[in-house]
Copies of this chain bind each other. A is one copy, B any other.
Amino acid sequence: MTTSWDMSAIGHIQSPYREGFGIPRQSGVVPAATGILLPTAEWQDPIAWQGIEAFSHLWLVWVFHAKRRMGPQDSKAVRPPRLGGNQRVGVFASRAPVRPNPIGLSVVRLLDVTERDGAVRLQLGGLDLLDGTPILDVKPHVPYADCPGDSQGGWANAPPERLAVVWGAAEHWITRLDPAQVGLIEQSLAQDPRPAFHADPKRVYGMRIEDIDVRFVVREQRAEIQEIVPVDTER
């Protein structure tokens, strides 16, 4: 009996999230998180994508490539941020990134399908993926099958509360940045990227979005941006 299977990337994601910190904890909660699915050479063939525009949303099956894999030394329980970070539940009762098989699932919005020199690319929205994430499969989102009307999502039944976002001392950046980037920063901050347990109103966090570093503090459910620092990269 076969008990293991070799899975290969059919493409990779280009995402504004270049570091783990700041990535939304579920797909769809930051609509402005747009990016590109760039298929590998074999799967750039338009035939493999024909008709996909009929669907508004797609499932991505992907690999937690930047996380180590759950090993025998690891606990089989995790502490989800939605439970405050101090209550343990089983790994299969959560979507935590360190798992027996490093597989992630995301529903993303299909914004556009483009073709250049015979190579297909997908423009996607609502990403919760690190830049470079390998994609194993893409399937249409089929609401009648994927959305049972009586599904109860336990402690994650409702979306997490959002923070208010103010630009404070960084206000002069609003007009200097691309409007799409402003929206992406605001929506990403509203998700409260802080780890569970963190409640120090003086602590300055740095969230990397594309080629800028967003420095902010959180006080009383309000994220206040303190500084925008362009990051020098060769990307």
Interface residues, chain A, with chain B CB atoms under 8 Å away: 2-10, 26-29, 40, 43, 45-52, 54-57, 59, 61, 63, 65, 75-77, 88-95, 99-103, 105, 107, 109, 126, 134, 136-148, 150-159
Q: Are A103 and B141 in contact (CB under 8 A)?
A: no
Q: A7-B4, A56-B151, A148-B109 are in contact. Are A93 and B158 (CB under 8 A)?
A: no
- List chain B residues, Cβ under 8 A from A50: 77, 88-90, 93
Q: Is the CB of A153 within 8 A of B140?
A: yes
- Residue numbers in B under 8 Å from A90 (CB-CB): 46-52
- Once bound together, how far apart are the Cα atoms of A172 and B76, in whole Å? 50
A26-B144, A52-B89, A92-B138 provided; 19 other pairs, C-beta below 8 A?
A: A4-B9, A6-B6, A7-B7, A7-B103, A10-B101, A27-B145, A43-B76, A47-B75, A47-B77, A47-B90, A50-B89, A51-B89, A61-B103, A101-B136, A107-B145, A107-B146, A140-B153, A141-B148, A146-B146
Measured in the bound complex, the distance between the Cα atoms of B58 and A146 in whole Å is 10
Counting from the closest, the 8 A-B pairs by CB-CB distance are: A54-B154, A51-B89, A26-B145, A147-B147, A48-B76, A52-B93, A50-B90, A56-B152
Given A56-B150, A140-B94, A105:B105 Cβ within 8 A = yes
Q: With contacts A65-B2, A93-B50, A101-B7 known, is A141 near B145, CB below 8 A?
A: no
Whether A156 lies near B140 (C-beta < 8 A) is yes
Which single member of B9, B92, B159 contacts A52 (CB below 8 Å)? B92
Which residues of B have CB within 8 Å of A139? 92, 94-95, 105
Cross-interface CB contact of A63 among B5, B27, B138, B150, cutoff 8 Å: B5
- Beta-carbon contact of A28 and B77 below 8 Å: no
Q: How far is the CA of A200 from the CA of B26 in the complex (A)?
A: 47
Which residues of chain B come closer than 8 Å to A134, judged between CB atoms?
2-3
Kindly identify which residue among B7, B57, B140 contacts A95, using a CB–CB cutoff of 8 Å.
Answer: B140
